[in-house]
Amino acid sequence: MKKIFISILSLVMLLFFTACGNTAENKSRTSHEKSIIATKDAEGKMQNKILVVYFSRTGDNYEVGNIEKGNTHIMADIIAEAVGADTFEIKPVKSYPANYRECTEVAKQELSADARPAIEGKVTNWQDYDTVFLGYPIWWSELPMPVYTFLESYDWNGKTIIPFCTSAGDVLTGKEDNIPKYAKGAKLREGLGIRGKRLQENQDGVKPDIVAWLKKLGYIK
């Protein structure tokens, strides 16, 4: 009888500790699942903090005449609104000439000298951003030199760069492939080029192209 009692007591104790272990495991799993859910947005995508950085120019502009908001600035705002990003404008300390031809000559001289024009300000909380959309106009088939100043001013380890540009055509130039040489440690993803004239004259017509690109990249559903 005593042996039976001991056996029953042992079985009860085993069941009790097993139940406690499962409860602790379930609590741990629930906590872990909550921490994962907290890093996702309403659509189930993993969140990351996004910044749209752009260099843009106003004044006399190719194909579109005198403009008050730059082509690349318009594209940057469309992207930022679509993905819910912060923005930062690359502003040279010394402004470029408002006259289009004069500006192209200055840009040509800077390109020839591989210049790094000084730029204003710094990105606040740079370390918080995971993805940076980087926008610029195409000057002499290249990125404007102030963009290189920006790229070389930050630590890019662990960050993703997605280039976008404006020019006389809906194209990239291939020069964007060299961005990681200047943004050390960055990962580069597929960019998009949009004709500046389209952005100035028909923003609603351009938005579907930008949205389709962002969907392809997985930044919007």
Is 93 within a domain? yes
* Beta strands 59-61 and 65-67, pairing class: antiparallel
Is 188 within a domain? yes
Q: Output 10-16 pairs: Cβ under 8 A, ≥24 positions apart.
A: none
Q: Which residues pair with 167 in a beta bridge?
A: 195
pLDDT tens digits, one per residue of 131-155: 999 999 999 999 999 999 999 999 9
Same domain membership, residue 104 and residue 142: yes
DSSP 96-114: PPSSHHHHHHHHHHHHHHT
Q: What is the DSSP letter of 68?
A: S
Structure tokens at 127: 């370390």
Is 88 within a domain? yes
Residue 187 burial (C-beta neighbours within 10 Å; 0-12, 13-18, 19+): middle
Same domain membership, residue 206 and residue 120: yes
What local confidence, expressed as pLDDT, does residue 48 receive? 78
Same domain membership, residue 153 and residue 84: yes
Same domain membership, residue 132 and residue 210: yes
Same domain membership, residue 176 and residue 70: yes
Q: Which whole-number Å values give the CA distances from 208 to 56, 190, 215, in the listed order?
A: 22, 17, 10
What local confidence, expressed as pLDDT, does residue 33 receive? 31
Same domain membership, residue 106 and residue 4: no
Contacts (Cβ under 8 Å, ≥6 apart) of 72: 54, 55, 56, 57, 135, 136, 137, 164, 165, 166, 196
Is 73 within a domain? yes
Same domain membership, residue 158 and residue 100: yes
Same domain membership, residue 89 and residue 186: yes
Same domain membership, residue 133 and residue 28: no
Q: What does pTM read for this prediction? A: 0.80
pLDDT tens digits, one per residue of 174-187: 999 999 999 999 99
- Candidate from 8-17, 29-38, 119-128, 131-140 with smallest mean pLDDT: 29-38
Same domain membership, residue 138 and residue 70: yes
Is 43 within a domain? no
Same domain membership, residue 146 and residue 93: yes
Task: Report how many domains make up the chain.
Answer: 2
**Which domain range does residue 134 map to?**
50-217
Is 212 within a domain? yes
- Rounded to the nearest 10 degrees, the angle between the axes of helix 71-83 and helix 203-217 is 50
Residue with tokens 């940057």: 76
pLDDT tens digits, one per residue of 91-101: 999 999 999 99
What local confidence, expressed as pLDDT, does residue 9 receive? 38
Same domain membership, residue 151 and residue 60: yes
What local confidence, expressed as pLDDT, does residue 126 receive? 97
CATH of the domain at 130: 3.40.50.360
